[in-house]
Amino acid sequence: MSVLREKVENFLYKEARLMDENRFMDWFEMFANPALYWIPANQEDYDPDKHVSLFYGDYNGVKNLAIRLSEGKAFAQEPRARMRRVVSNIEIEDGAEEVSVHANFIINEIRKHEQRYHTGRSHYRLVPADGAFRIKYKKAVLVSLDEAQDNLTFLV
Amino acid sequence: MAGGNGRAIDYNALVKPDAVHGDCYTDPDIFADELKKIYGRGWVYIGHVSEIPKAGDYIRSWLGLQPVIFSRDKAGNTHVLFNRCTHRGASICQEDKGNTGGFRCEYHGWFFRLDGALSAMPYADAYGENFDKTQYNLRKPPRVDAYRGFVFASMAPSGLSLREHIGAPALAQIDYACDLSPEGELLVQSGATKLAYNGNWKLQMENSIDGYHPNFTHQSFISAIERMTGAKMEIFNGDSKLQSRDLSMGNANIDSRRHNIEHPHAQARLQAMQKTAWGKKYYDDLVKAHGKARAEEVLTVGGTHMNVFPNLVVLAQQVRTIRPVSTERTEVFLRPSFLKGVPDEVNTQRLRAYEGFYTTAGGGIHDDVEMFNRVHEGLRCSHDPWLIFRRGMHREQTDNDGTLFGQCTDETAQRGMWRHWKSVMQQEMN
């Protein structure tokens, strides 16, 4: 395994673990400033200023999401979802200033005795920082992006 | 009164002036009766004309449980067509939206034009010389009408017109939303966020015009706003000037006119528009279109926050459709609305504000949905079946336009919705 692949995998697995364990502020620390986090709605690609997204936020938007979810006042997460996700099918493209990474995810989520699966593929643009990376851009494309959702208030 | 399965249902006993029986949410016979008397008779919202702007455009929608196609033909006319082949019943439109030259039933190849006319069947000679194709056009609801781009259909061949169904006070609220555009038009073509919950469709209708819940259900959102602005958000308090209003005909709103017009921020907001080129252009164009007084009124009021019975919600930057599935399941489609003829920045700002609250990963709507699921669970307790809607009954007032209003945490709006629901459910089918 290449050194780059090992570093990228370690970074994605850490992010997955923090999201699974609802460690919102630790997850937020993985973002660069400025950053962009995007979860498209209805279709995979479009101009996010012209079409609604499930999430479209900059560094402060991600920070507000993390704080809001960690405060314990978001009742759609009371009780919280239990989850574990698998990250796989990782494809890496090394660039001069950033690393472009695509990865599939499968989330098994249980909340209030109901089990749900959420799957998709994320595109990251990672910038080197502190021997690892920071997330400059993350676009999480859910397979269910055009379906009626019961609850999507955890991290994807 | 004969209900869905011929069972006698006494609606007068189920809806009291100050309380509603849980069966109105959970009884499958009542749901079946609603499909006939509300969704199979009265005006039902289908879609917005801007969703199908070009010839050949179509979307799928519903009239209660019945799937329909909302299409635009080559001459530019719009149609509401039942999504069912007149031959052997297969649905003929599979995509939620698209553009097409017509609809082919892929079972036996019957082809229908965008206006529903049967155009061709394979091996047509088998139907004989006297076969009249026009007898097999796609079926349509007998009445379709629109107000400011909002298209409704009714299965009743006659009865109240759409304007009578909505009523003057609710029409004026729709005007507030549309007049924010200098061209007077909303554009509903920026996608949808789609939600589902376990429970009755009326839970979402009650909640859309509920000024009592935000300070409690939406603590996480309010806390985030207060953190960002550094100021306490005191809009939905017991002494707020927002009003809970029964617009008649089952329509209702959280009326922000008095609150927004009298609030010291009102003038500041108008002045803030002068600080950017796009804000100034928007203000100037709106004044040019509607005159200064109306332009400033609509800008200050900021749209509306209303229900149109039974399945449409119009909010400041949103058009919401409620789709009943069963007593156990409801789907809600929320669509951001853009303003026609304004600088892009105005619409992007509307979109970001919408996303902050109304998307599935956003800060608000899912806490509402959580409460619908909780009500649905609670309603299984049949020991005390009543839901109490008596807040502010003693202080309700009649306004100049005949509408009833109370303070925003009062349940005037919900009482109006339920009164209308009862009167519709008590009217037998002809």
Is B85 a member of any domain?
yes
Question: For residue B393, what are the CA distances in angstroms to A118, B244, B253, B320, B404?
Answer: 46, 11, 17, 28, 11
Q: Is the pLDDT of residue B369 over 80?
A: yes
CB A136 within 8 A of CB A58: no
Distance in Å, alpha carbon of B342 to nearest chain A alpha carbon:
13
**pLDDT per residue as tens digits for the range A62-71:** 999 999 999 9
Residues B62, B174 within the same domain: no
Tokens coding B79: 């149609």
Residues B361, B337 within the same domain: yes
CB B162 within 8 A of CB B171: no
Residues sharing a CB contact under 8 Å with residue B301, sequence separation 6 or more, in sequence order = B176, B256, B257, B260, B261
Would you call A52 and B369 a contact, using CB atoms and an 8 Å cutoff? no
The predicted model gives A75-83 an average pLDDT of 95
Q: Is the pLDDT of residue B36 over 70?
A: yes
* Cα separation, A74 vs B293, whole angstroms: 41
Q: What is the pTM of this model?
A: 0.96
* Cα separation, B317 vs B304, whole angstroms: 9
Residue A8: pLDDT band (50, 70, 90) is very high
Residue B5: pLDDT band (50, 70, 90) is low
pLDDT for residue B6: 66
Residues B51, B96 within the same domain: yes
Is A148 a member of any domain?
no
Residues B74, B30 within the same domain: no
Q: Is the pLDDT of residue A140 over 80?
A: yes
The predicted model gives A97-120 an average pLDDT of 97
Would you call B366 and A73 a contact, using CB atoms and an 8 Å cutoff? no
Question: For residue B30, what are the CA distances in angstroms to B4, B33, B34, B409?
Answer: 6, 5, 6, 29
**pLDDT per residue as tens digits for the range B399-425:** 999 999 999 999 999 999 999 999 999
Q: Residue A41: helix, strand or coil by DSSP?
A: coil
Interface of B with A in 7-66 (CB under 8 A): none
Q: Is the pLDDT of residue B167 over 80?
A: yes
Would you call A73 and B220 a contact, using CB atoms and an 8 Å cutoff? yes
Q: Is the pLDDT of residue B370 over 80?
A: yes
Averaged pLDDT score across all residues of chain B: 95
CATH value at residue B81: 2.102.10.10
Number of domains forming the structure of chain A: 1
Is B355 a member of any domain?
yes
Is B358 a member of any domain?
yes
pLDDT > 90 in chain B, percent: 89
Q: How far is CA A145 from the centre of its chain?
A: 14
Is A118 a member of any domain?
yes
Question: What is the interface size between A and B, counted as CB pairs within 8 Å?
Answer: 102
CATH value at residue B291: 3.90.380.10
Residue B228: pLDDT band (50, 70, 90) is confident
Residues sharing a CB contact under 8 Å with residue B219, sequence separation 6 or more, in sequence order = A73, A75
Q: Is the pLDDT of residue B96 over 90?
A: yes
Residues B97, B142 within the same domain: yes
What strand order describes the sheet that includes A31-40? A53-58, A31-40, A132-142, A114-129, A99-111, A82-94
Is B135 a member of any domain?
yes
**pLDDT per residue as tens digits for the range B231-261:** 888 889 898 999 999 999 999 999 999 888 8
CB B364 within 8 A of CB B357: yes
* Cα separation, B82 vs B91, whole angstroms: 9
* Cα separation, A154 vs A150, whole angstroms: 12
Is B127 a member of any domain?
yes
Is A151 a member of any domain?
no
Residues B48, B38 within the same domain: no
Number of domains forming the structure of chain B: 2
Cβ contacts of A81 on chain B, cutoff 8 Å = none
Residues B74, B171 within the same domain: no
Residues B412, B301 within the same domain: yes
Is A156 a member of any domain?
no
Residues B34, B65 within the same domain: no
Interface of A with B in 113-152 (CB under 8 A): 146-152
Interface residue B370 vs chain A (CB under 8 A): yes
* Cα separation, A10 vs A25, whole angstroms: 19
Q: Is the pLDDT of residue B3 over 70?
A: no
| Positive or negative torsion for Cα B172, B173, B175, B176 | positive
CB B36 within 8 A of CB B94: no
The predicted model gives A96-114 an average pLDDT of 97
Would you call A52 and B227 a contact, using CB atoms and an 8 Å cutoff? no
Domain with B70 in it? 43-147
Is B328 a member of any domain?
yes
Is A154 a member of any domain?
no
Residues B367, B301 within the same domain: yes
Interface of A with B in 21-80 (CB under 8 A): 39, 41-43, 46, 49-56, 64-65, 67-69, 71, 73-76, 78
CB A137 within 8 A of CB A92: no
Would you call A52 and B344 a contact, using CB atoms and an 8 Å cutoff? no
Domain with A95 in it? 3-142
Q: What is the ipTM of this complex?
A: 0.95
Is B142 a member of any domain?
yes
H-run or E-run covering B265: helix B265-272
pLDDT > 70 in chain B, percent: 99
Residues B59, B35 within the same domain: no
pLDDT for residue B362: 73
What are phi and psi for residue A35, nearest 5 degrees? -145, 165
CATH value at residue A35: 3.10.450.50
Residues B271, B133 within the same domain: no
CA dihedral B227→A64→B239→B421, nearest 10 degrees, is 180
Q: Within 10 A of B19 (CB to CB), how many other CB atoms are there?
A: 15
| DSSP label at residue A113 | T
